[in-house]
Structure 1
Amino acid sequence: MADTRFSELMGLIKAIQASSGQTVLNEIEGVQRSFGVVKRNYDELINAILAFQDEKEIPRLWPQQSRDVRHEAMDVVVTRLQNFLAAAFSLVDHVRRHRKHL
């Protein structure tokens, strides 16, 4: 009895996994993961930019003798911008590929 029930459940699971609905769900989940990467990169970029507006950071970043510190902070912003743009373009490509299947 238990073996029969288990076999029935396994058959249902396989049928669900093979269904077109499951394929669509998998496509949506893939796009959601890509969007999550874009969102995290966006948040990191905004935080790096906001560091330049933080009144507590201004004395540390802007004096002439702090040039190296300022350049390091700018490098962080550039890196975060590059990460965000790469993730955004990847998301566009990802959506284009998945759109063909939806």
Structure 2
Amino acid sequence: MAQKSRIAPAPKVRRVEVMPLDEGEAVAVIELESAPPAHWLEALQREMRFTEGLESSAAKVDGCHVYLLGLEPGLGRATRHVGRLLATVPAVAR
């Protein structure tokens, strides 16, 4: 019998904050309900490489927080980019 793959739901987002940095860039802090699985992080980083405005950004994880570093300084634009990014990162198969 074929093994069925289970879908791990994407972690739920509690809040997103975008803040300017002194260097002329912005950082987004994404608070999740739980620590994200490794496959979700890989999908996030893959989507970042193909998302306009996020190609040169980096994602760092600390527990339930994901930090997107090196965003373009326009806060409204950065917030839209992050929202679209989170909407496109799918649930991943285990």
Q: Please confirm whether the aligned pair reaches a TM-score higher than 0.5, indicating the same fold.
A: no
TM-score if structure 1 supplies the norm length? 0.29
- Greater fraction strand: 2
Larger radius of gyration: 1
TM-score if structure 2 supplies the norm length? 0.30
